[in-house]
A and B are shown apart, each in its own frame.
Chain A
Amino acid sequence: MSAPSAELQAVLGRRWRKPPLIRRTWLRWALGLGALVYLAAAISSVEVNWSRVYEGLDRGGAFIMSFARPDFVTRGSDIWDGLMESLIMTVAASVVGIAISIPIGLGAARNIAPLPVYLVCRGIVALSRALQEIIVAILLVAIFGFGPLAGFLTLSFATIGFLSKLLAEDIEAMDRSQAEAIRATGSGWWQWINYGVQPQVMPRLIGLSMYRIDINFRESAILGLVGAGGIGATLNTAFDRYEFDTAAAILLLIIGIVMALEYLSGVIRARVQ
């Protein structure tokens, strides 16, 4: 048996201590102190009106209680119209968004697109990802007027950024040999994409599309706040009038639909993958 090394000799017989997360002492202290100073500054700049909060506790309790007896009936027709509009916007925007994001996703994949096309498509993706849905909705409402058209356009635009980026990343990570084998048979560009690239990315594309439909429905629930159609306007009115029973009913419906969509997309994804 060889003698233990000097390094081991030095620590033998001492109690084990957890190694620190950050090795350098000064950096550890500086980061910790910085975080503390920031937290103190941040918390002190938040003004909380505790008496107002205390008053609100009753209302909060009333709201939580109203989940036990949601009121689907009183504003039944408003809820139904809003929900249908949300669903319609979701379906239409998902179809159009997915249809547009496929060519843009192809263009944004560096291994199949020439550089100028790549740059343009990446620019579109970056723009769409940087602007939040609600801001796009405000601008589109100002331009196209109130109604579901603005919401539909907003969701389509957001879908493009999300789906094209992930599709392009998937295409960039694909197995080149399969695509090359198709090329070697003398196929044209379309045949190459259709038989070499498409079968490799299709399962993931379907999975991501299902996920995006789910997100689109969730987002469509808030677009109504700025006048872009959907259930959001009804929900806003319910909160403004303190009609918590109706609000609870709407929230339960949203949660239910989101859960159903998530379950459905889980089933579909399990089947295609």
Chain B
Amino acid sequence: MPVVENAAGNRVWMRRTTGQSMLRWFGWLLGVAVFVWCWNRISDSTTWFFVWDAPRIAGDILTRATPPRWSYIDELWLPIWDTLNIATLGTILALIMAVPVAFLAARNTTPSARFVRPIALLIIVSTRSINSLIWALLLIAIIGPGIFAGILAIAIRSIGFCAKLLYEAIEEIDHTQVEAISATGASRWQVMAYGIVPQILPAFAGISVFRWDINIRESTVLGLVGAGGIGLQLSGSLNTLAWPQVSLILIVILFAVIVSEWVSAKVRSAII
């Protein structure tokens, strides 16, 4: 925090030196320039005629979409059941795979910090950075469309998320409890079962319910690429421009998301 002399010879406190404020100013200039350039690129590849026309189109779609075709709900019960199954079975599969990965990735439980840990971290990063829709695309190309591809896509996408949160929980455990168990002469597995697992069980339950909630959201749209669930009906209705059905499906999805969030919040507040 420099003190600068001004023109009249008085000493004035300033927050930054001239150099610092110049640097900040230059940083802002660069940021604004990058943003303007990005905006120009977007604007260049936009048909502005459609954008000016947008309010009319939006109004048109709204009038077509209301009222929702309530009778269509009879055809939606099965897809809703499928969606629920994709999310639940996918979460269970993911947890089965994520637990060993998490133990291999945590610094205090990994068998080898030099060789095994980087592999476990690579699995976590690569499964986490690719969206479940992309996993679904890939699995559909490999094993064909259907619910099974959706379950696997959800499962693979969730491994990284669950394993990351879980290994952070494992690294934060209280070490004295582990020492107490091993002081009784317990084997490596007994230490794990009685020293480590009870400490991370609440975190584990919280993570699984949290991920289940996210997976419900994601499984509602997996059908857009052909991986089963209510998204299949959504894409079918969109392709045939059946807007009253689209609006009903959107209402159902919104309802499912709200219910799953409510359930997950209730369960987590009961556990933690």
Residues of A participating in the B interface, judged by any CB pair closer than 8 Å: 38, 42-43, 45-49, 52-53, 56-57, 59-60, 63, 84-85, 88-89, 91-92, 95, 130-132, 134-135, 138-139, 142-145, 147-149, 152, 218-219, 221-222, 225-226, 229, 232, 235-236, 239-240, 242, 247, 251, 254-255, 258-259, 262
Task: Report which of B31, B39, B258 forms a contact with A130, defined as CB distance below 8 A.
Answer: B258
Chain B residues within 8 Å of A49, by CB: 144, 146, 148
Chain B residues within 8 Å of A143, by CB: 54, 57-58, 61
Would B221 and A134 count as touching, CB distance under 8 A?
yes
Chain A residues within 8 Å of B217, by CB: 132
Top 3 nearest A-B pairs (CB, nearest first) are A258-B129, A145-B50, A56-B143
CB-nearest residue of chain B to A244? B141
A interface, over-half SS: helix
The answer, yes or no, to whether B1 is at the interface (CB within 8 Å) is: no
B13-21, B80-88, B173-181 - interface stretch: B80-88
Q: B203-249: which have CB < 8 Å to A?
A: 217-218, 220-221, 224-225, 238
Would B38 and A92 count as touching, CB distance under 8 A?
yes
Task: Report which of B89, B133, B148 forms a contact with A134, defined as CB distance below 8 A.
Answer: B133
Chain B residues within 8 Å of A251, by CB: 130, 134
CB-nearest residue of chain B to A251? B130
Would A135 and B221 count as touching, CB distance under 8 A?
yes
> Please, what's the 1-or-0 string for B135-153, where 1 marks a CB less than 8 Å from any CB in chain A?
0011011111011100100
Q: What's the minimum C-beta distance from A266 to chain B, rounded to whole angstroms?
A: 12
Q: What's the minimum C-beta distance from B151 to chain A, rounded to whole angstroms?
A: 7
The answer, yes or no, to whether B46 is at the interface (CB within 8 Å) is: yes
**14 A-B contact pairs sorted by A residue (CB < 8 Å):** A45-B82, A49-B144, A84-B41, A85-B45, A92-B39, A92-B42, A130-B257, A134-B224, A139-B61, A143-B57, A222-B134, A225-B137, A239-B140, A255-B126
Would B89 and A91 count as touching, CB distance under 8 A?
no
Chain B residues within 8 Å of A48, by CB: 146, 148
Please, how many angstroms separate the alpha-carbon atoms of A85 and B141 in the complex? 25
Q: What's the minimum C-beta distance from B138 to chain A, rounded to whole angstroms?
A: 6
Given contacts A239-B138, A247-B138, contact A225 B42 (CB under 8 A): no
Q: What's the minimum C-beta distance from A239 to chain B, rounded to whole angstroms?
A: 5
Residues of B participating in the A interface, judged by any CB pair closer than 8 Å: 31, 34-35, 38-39, 41-43, 45-47, 50-51, 54, 57-58, 61, 81-82, 84-85, 88-89, 125-126, 129-131, 133-134, 137-138, 140-144, 146-148, 151, 217-218, 220-221, 224-225, 238, 250, 253-254, 257-258
Chain B residues within 8 Å of A89, by CB: 42
Please, how many angstroms separate the alpha-carbon atoms of A88 and B44 in the complex? 12
Chain A residues within 8 Å of B46, by CB: 144-145, 147-149
Chain B residues within 8 Å of A95, by CB: 31, 35
Chain B residues within 8 Å of A53, by CB: 143-144, 148
Chain B residues within 8 Å of A91, by CB: 34-35, 38
| Additional pairs, 12, CB under 8 Å, beyond known A57-B142, A92-B39, A92-B42 | A45-B85, A47-B148, A48-B146, A52-B143, A59-B141, A63-B142, A92-B35, A147-B42, A221-B131, A225-B133, A239-B140, A239-B141
Chain A residues within 8 Å of B42, by CB: 88-89, 92, 147-149, 152
Task: Report which of A38, A145, A152, A235 forms a contact with B134, defined as CB distance below 8 A.
Answer: A235
Q: Which of A92, A148, A262 has the most CB of B within 10 A?
A: A92
B interface, over-half SS: helix
Please, how many angstroms separate the alpha-carbon atoms of A89 and B254 in the complex? 26
Q: What's the minimum C-beta distance from B234 to chain A, rounded to whole angstroms?
A: 8
Please, how many angstroms separate the alpha-carbon atoms of A247 and B139 in the complex? 13
Please, how many angstroms separate the alpha-carbon atoms of A51 and B143 in the complex? 9
Q: What's the minimum C-beta distance from B137 to chain A, rounded to whole angstroms?
A: 5
Chain A residues within 8 Å of B85, by CB: 42, 45-46
Q: What's the minimum C-beta distance from B20 to chain A, rounded to whole angstroms?
A: 15
Chain B residues within 8 Å of A232, by CB: 134
Please, how many angstroms separate the alpha-carbon atoms of A38 and B92 in the complex? 13
Please, how many angstroms separate the alpha-carbon atoms of A219 and B125 in the complex? 16
Q: What's the minimum C-beta distance from B257 to chain A, rounded to whole angstroms?
A: 5
Would A42 and B88 count as touching, CB distance under 8 A?
yes
Please, how many angstroms separate the alpha-carbon atoms of A47 and B148 in the complex? 7
Q: What's the minimum C-beta distance from A47 to chain B, rounded to whole angstroms?
A: 7
Task: Report which of B51, B88, B143, B220 forms a contact with A149, defined as CB distance below 8 A.
Answer: B51
Please, how many angstroms separate the alpha-carbon atoms of A270 and B34 in the complex? 25
Would A226 and B54 count as touching, CB distance under 8 A?
no
Q: What's the minimum C-beta distance from B142 to chain A, rounded to whole angstroms?
A: 4
CB-nearest residue of chain B to A259? B125
CB-nearest residue of chain B to A87? B38
Chain B residues within 8 Å of A84, by CB: 41
Q: Which of A47, A222, A242 has the most CB of B within 10 A?
A: A222
Chain B residues within 8 Å of A218, by CB: 129-131
Would B141 and A138 count as touching, CB distance under 8 A?
no
CB-nearest residue of chain B to A88? B38
